[in-house]
A and B are shown apart, each in its own frame.
Chain A
Amino acid sequence: MVDGNNLSRRTILKGAGIAGTASVTALAGCTGGGGSTLEVLHGWTGGDGADAADALFSAFEEEHSDLEYDENPIGGGGNENLDQTVANRLQGGNPPSSFAGWPGANLEQYEDAVGDIESEVWDEADLKDAHVEEAVELCQHNGGFSAVPLGSHRLNDLFYNVSVLESAGVDPSSIDSADALIDALDAVESETDATPFAFSLAPWCILQTWAQTMLGEHGYEAYMNFIEGNGDESAVRDTFEKLEQILGYINADAASVDFTEVNQDIMSGDAAFIHQGNWAAGAYIADDKDLTYGEDWDAIQYPGTEDYYTLHIDSFIYPSDNPTPDDTATWLQFVGSEEAQVAFNQYKGSIPTLTDVSTDEFNPYLTDTIDDFDNASEKPPTLAHGLAVDTSTQADLEDVLNNNFADPYDVDGATSGFMDNV
């Protein structure tokens, strides 16, 4: 929070400078309210994330040209740096106006450090009807609303390299269960030199693939029961057993690479399948790659989850004790609007959480994703990205995986660890 203080000082300085009141005493006096500028923290500093953030803030400027704001991107380490900075500043009593983060159970950690914006934002801008019910629900906290959704990534895509599958003689549309997937992986292994299942053994990656396997093999209800703490042990165990078989087909260096590295192998044809959130597709679509959706790469749903859309949501969160309550409300209303969501998501490789949105601006892959989103029978929340369980449970699950299921694979240990921790 010390650094946080500094940031906010600088913000104030900037704002004060613009207002022409850069007197030292005025600076020392104001800690929020009065002369503060809307300050927004987010973690999109590189690649498509940075482009998406640029588009978002340009759209905001266009709509609210009168409003001074300070964009403060904090990248690196996944969201680790952003989360740390946010935590420090909330802890030090120096919150920003708004910060990017996951809604859902992830909000629990902030307790009273995040506030309620039900009337100022959700009712005022009629957001409750505009967004899908899952998104509306996930933004609630402490009996009110503390976040506004910005967009959604899909977690149950299974991406593949088309030509690798062709040379292995695998028909992707026939893969509808974990066993069928294992057969396909086996075919790739025996018929080609490619890695059948490109993977990173980072705990969060294992967790998200475990969650899709659970969902695919045992269905929505069993999955929801598990995250609510009533998991069926035999289903959890069976999921681990299936996953162990699948992970028998991964790259040798899986324990020391991150997913972006193995994702390169999908593009170069050195690997057949990869399971990732659909941010992975951003790399395929990037201009310099010259890869075509449907011809070079494609996606099916993770086997068994064909009717589902596993939901990930990025949102902007509202800290209580807000330095700029009115401007923050304006910002958050904008975040929930179609303008903002279209501007941001088309570049981010994610989709709006709105019930009805024009797909004109979106590429063919995302258009298909929006279509699935509208037609999915269920939208289960992702387990590995803050929506399903609170941060400390999620960290416990990742610990269990790191200790029991990151090669070698200990089904017993992992099963009991998962049953104990949720």
Chain B
Amino acid sequence: MTDGGTTEERSTLRRWLDSDIVQSSPFWLPPFLLMGFFVYAAIGWNLLLSLTEYSGFGDPDYSNLGLHNYRAMLDDPGMWAATRNTFVLLVGFTVVCLIVGLLLALLLDREIRFSRSFRTIYLLPFALSFIVTAQFWRWMYNVNNGIVNQFIGLFGIGPYNWLGSPKLVLGSVIFALVWQFSGYTMIIYLAALRSIPNDQYEAARVDGASTVRMYWRVIVPQLRPAMVSATVTLVLFALKAFDFLYATFDGYRPRRGADILATKMVRESFGRSEWAYGSSIALMLFVLSLGVIAPYLYNQYKRGNL
């Protein structure tokens, strides 16, 4: 009996030690802990900080927590402007990128010679740092000597102060970011297009569908998963876009009309040492991005793509 019991215990232990979760943990657990600490623990810590009154020098005081920072947000006109700009950027940038990327992908998917070279060139801006591309676009948008004004000058329009005018600045930023990101959406679509079996093209042709009809009816619907994942990436990028704006406006404070939540968050905390207020904006950004991440992950899980 006792013997049997011990054997059984031992075998339970053995089985547990042999189990896949234990066997695999040396592989995934260390990276998970490292990542978990820096991502999830930090988010929790950020939540805690957002409830304090931490600002200026010294250490945060965790003894007196409250929602005052969130209330202060409601009274902050800058917050409203930044939220509105964030959504304009998010929608404008995402939609234009998706359309331009789709057109590029459709063009390149037509048995083009040198299609690889074209693809490489269109994707090139995506490989550059925002700090680098911001330098290029400051020069492009220069009021007196910039290419943009010289180009539209050919048609007798302008010159405009693209980065200076509150009405134009956000559009100008979106345009530059589309330049940088449309290659990315193109790549996503191209991968999806190339995975569509050839016989579907054939079938559509046999049915006598015109090229446009064929694309619209047969091909585009199959690109939906690609579009979803591109949208997620683009939206989440738009939420955190900071580097380009910092480099374009030489500091924490973008020109009026271009301030978004991401820049306001960094400015409040690192520019003005309002750490707690900055954390509360950060938390809002996190919640907004969660609104995109959660449905996406759920969707992927449902489809068995996880």
- Report A's interface with B, CB cutoff 8 A: 77, 80, 84, 87, 90-91, 109-111, 113, 201, 203, 252-256, 258, 391-392, 395, 398-399, 402-403, 406-408
B164 touches A254 (CB 8 A): yes
Beyond known contacts A111-B56, A402-B253: 5 more, CB 8 A cutoff: A90-B57, A91-B57, A201-B164, A255-B161, A406-B166
A256 touches B143 (CB 8 A): yes
Q: In the complex, what distance in Å separates the CA atom of A87 from the CA atom of B58?
A: 10
B57 touches A252 (CB 8 A): no
| Pairs A–B under 8 Å by Cβ, sample size 17 | A109-B56, A109-B273, A201-B164, A252-B143, A252-B159, A255-B164, A255-B165, A255-B255, A256-B255, A391-B272, A392-B272, A392-B274, A398-B253, A399-B78, A402-B256, A406-B166, A406-B255
A407 touches B57 (CB 8 A): no
B163 touches A403 (CB 8 A): no
A256 touches B78 (CB 8 A): no
Interface size class of B (residues with CB under 8 A): 20 to 34
Other-chain residue from B141, B251, B255 in contact with A77 (beta carbon distance below 8 A): B251
Closest to A110 in B: B57
Nearest CB of chain B from residue A267's CB, rounded to whole Å: 17
Nearest CB of chain B from residue A370's CB, rounded to whole Å: 34
A256 touches B164 (CB 8 A): yes
A408 touches B166 (CB 8 A): yes
Q: In the complex, what distance in Å separates the CA atom of A91 from the CA atom of B141?
A: 39
Q: In the complex, what distance in Å separates the CA atom of A58 from the CA atom of B141?
A: 44
Q: Which chain A residues lie closer than 8 Å to B81 at the CB level? A: 403
Chain B interface mostly helix, strand, loop or mixed? loop
Closest to B169 in A: A255
B273 touches A87 (CB 8 A): yes
B253 touches A253 (CB 8 A): no
B251 touches A253 (CB 8 A): no
B58 touches A91 (CB 8 A): yes
A253 touches B57 (CB 8 A): no
Q: Which chain A residues lie closer than 8 Å to B229 at the CB level? A: none
Other-chain residue from A77, A109, A253 in contact with B161 (beta carbon distance below 8 A): A253
Q: In the complex, what distance in Å separates the CA atom of A395 from the CA atom of B159?
A: 32
A87 touches B57 (CB 8 A): yes
Find residues 3-45 in chain B having any chain A CB closer than 8 Å to their own CB. Answer: none
**3 closest Cβ pairs, A-B complex:** A255-B164, A253-B143, A256-B164
Q: Which chain A residues lie closer than 8 Å to B253 at the CB level? A: 203, 398-399, 402
Find residues 161-187 in chain B having any chain A CB closer than 8 Å to their own CB. Answer: 161, 163-166
Nearest CB of chain A from residue B120's CB, rounded to whole Å: 33
B161 touches A252 (CB 8 A): yes
Q: Which chain B residues lie closer than 8 Å to A111 at the CB level? A: 56-58
Q: Which chain B residues lie closer than 8 Å to A398 at the CB level? A: 253
The answer to whether A403 and B78 touch (CB under 8 A), given A91-B58, A253-B143, A392-B272, is yes
Other-chain residue from A253, A255, A395 in contact with B144 (beta carbon distance below 8 A): A253
Q: In the complex, what distance in Å separates the CA atom of A253 from the CA atom of B146?
A: 12
- Tell whether B156 is near chain A: CB-to-CB under 8 Å: no
Q: In the complex, what distance in Å separates the CA atom of A399 from the CA atom of B270?
A: 16
Q: In the complex, what distance in Å separates the CA atom of A284 from the CA atom of B144?
A: 24
B57 touches A256 (CB 8 A): no
Find residues 38-91 in chain B having any chain A CB closer than 8 Å to their own CB. Answer: 56-58, 77-78, 81
Q: In the complex, what distance in Å separates the CA atom of A113 from the CA atom of B58?
A: 9
- Tell whether B250 is near chain A: CB-to-CB under 8 Å: yes
Q: In the complex, what distance in Å separates the CA atom of A361 from the CA atom of B255?
A: 42
Q: In the complex, what distance in Å separates the CA atom of A90 from the CA atom of B77?
A: 31
Q: In the complex, what distance in Å separates the CA atom of A77 from the CA atom of B255?
A: 16
Q: Which chain A residues lie closer than 8 Å to B57 at the CB level? A: 87, 90-91, 109-111, 113
The answer to whether A407 and B165 touch (CB under 8 A), given A256-B143, A402-B256, is yes
